Amino acid sequence: MSLVKRGRKWHCHFVVNGQRFRQSLGTKDWREAQNKEKELIGQAMEGKLTQASSSLARQPFGQAADDYVTARKLELATASQSKEKQLLVQLRAYFQQEPLKSITAKRIIDYRAWRADQKVGPATLNAELGILRRIMKRARVWARVADDIRPLREPSTIGRALTEEEKQRLLKMAVMRPEWETAYLAAILCLNTTARGCELKGLQWSDVDLFAKTLTIRKSKTAAGERVVPLTDVAVSALGKLHQRAEGFGTVELSHYVFAAFVPKFTFSGKKVVDYSVTGFDPRRHLNSWRSAWRTLTKKAGLSGFRFHDLRHCAITQLAENGTSDSTIMAIAGHVSHRMLERYSHVRMEAKRTALEALAVSTKTAGYDTNRDTNVQPTSTRPV
């Protein structure tokens, strides 16, 4: 064990279980260097410090992020990989080429404050710091800051359910413009199957059986999301329209995507779209997104900020209001978190309460009222 000063910084040199470690301690203070050396020795004795992790700790953040993305390719679905790449954008901009070992708790707290100033919510911040944590853990440097970084409290909401009037207003608005057709048909399928947006995009015609009226979801966020869902007549009609639209571009094969990729062309009068056509169609690729159409549609319907994913919440809420059991909801919707099930249990109780209140009204109409029962005197005495 030894401490050596090179230039202005202290470096340590020690051997644990026959393995030699040499590392900069990144400090000018001798007492701080001593403490850091003891921490490193402890990590080495626990098997948490290796020569590989020491070299990873010296990596610039940008390079470490690239290595992380590459390593995650075998672990994540394509959609999840894209999401993590997006979450890394601001982390890359802030930490740039800063070595991982130089990222302190203060730097992370400053990053969080910087993002909060940009009006970023706690859920997004927690997701970004989650990736930073995983990158730093690979280099064995997260333990130094872990005690000072805690996840932010996220809003307890699990989604927004529309009233029946709001839902009808949204759907009636959706059929008014041809450029909203895809978003409209996707919304109909979500409301009638509880399918997520990513599940709908991954559907191929081999997953659809219009005769048996079933939809097989083979690709989902989790294994629990893979399921077979019965189709309502409304869902069958929506799929029929999608099939008819696909036939306009050629033969529809089972391997083709239900929501196939296409290139739209808009004709404008000022800022208003007056015509819409498809200039390109590739059924071997699925549509990336209907986000722009959805945002415009919900804004026009007076539901600005209503997410497409909230339609799934609407569908499950309606199932719960109809008295559907937890096990049936999970069979239809796939994975549902414990917190969501608790919410739907509450919804079911409210639906039951409303039904019983209706019974009470009819009973009062028949002449029974409990308001003055406690003040009524008995009409006969008890026999002795």
Q: What is the DSSP letter of 309?
A: T
Every domain range in the chain assigned CATH 1.10.150.130: 61-148
Cα–Cα distance between 14 and 16 in angstroms, integer?
A: 7
β-partners of residue 209 are: 214
Q: 311 exposed, middle or buried (CB, 10 Å; 0-12, 13-18, 19+)?
A: buried
Question: What CATH superfamily classification does 164-341 receive?
Answer: Intergrase catalytic core (1.10.443.10)
Q: Which residue has the tokens 């070595």?
A: 99
The pLDDT of residue 82 is 86
Residues in CB range of 310: below 8 A, 6 or more apart: 159, 160, 161, 162
| DSSP per residue, 67-108 | HHHHHHTTTS-HHHHHHHHHHHHHHHHHHTT-BGGG--HHHH
Cα–Cα distance between 336 and 155 in angstroms, integer?
A: 18
> Count of CB atoms within 10 A of residue 161's CB?
19
At position 117, the amino acid (one-letter code) is: D
Q: What does each of the 384 residues of the chain score in pLDDT, given as a tens digit?
A: 688 888 888 888 888 876 777 778 888 999 999 998 888 888 888 766 665 556 778 889 999 999 899 988 888 877 788 889 999 999 999 999 999 989 999 999 999 999 999 989 898 999 999 999 999 988 888 888 888 999 998 876 667 788 889 999 999 999 888 888 999 999 999 999 999 998 999 999 999 999 999 999 988 777 777 899 999 999 999 999 999 988 988 899 999 999 988 876 767 777 776 666 667 778 898 988 888 889 999 999 999 989 999 999 999 988 988 888 888 888 898 877 777 777 777 777 777 788 788 888 766 655 555 555 555 555 544 444
β-partners of residue 3 are: 12
The pLDDT of residue 103 is 93
The pLDDT of residue 41 is 86
At position 321, the amino acid (one-letter code) is: E
Every domain range in the chain assigned CATH 1.10.443.10: 164-341
Cβ pair 361, 251 in contact under 8 A: no
Cβ pair 246, 286 in contact under 8 A: no
Cα–Cα distance between 152 and 126 in angstroms, integer?
A: 7
CA end-to-end distance (rounded Å), the chain? 99
β-partners of residue 230 are: 214
Cα–Cα distance between 326 and 319 in angstroms, integer?
A: 10
Torsion of CA 80, 135, 95, 66, to 10 degrees: -60
The pLDDT of residue 50 is 61
Tell me the pTM: 0.63
Q: Which CATH number fits the domain 61-148, given the four candidates 1.10.150.130, 3.50.50.60, 3.30.70.1150, 1.10.4160.10?
A: 1.10.150.130
Cα–Cα distance between 167 and 184 in angstroms, integer?
A: 12
Residue 377, token pair as written in the block: 């005197």
The pLDDT of residue 382 is 47
Residues in CB range of 158: below 8 A, 6 or more apart: 313, 337, 339, 340, 343
Cβ pair 272, 179 in contact under 8 A: no
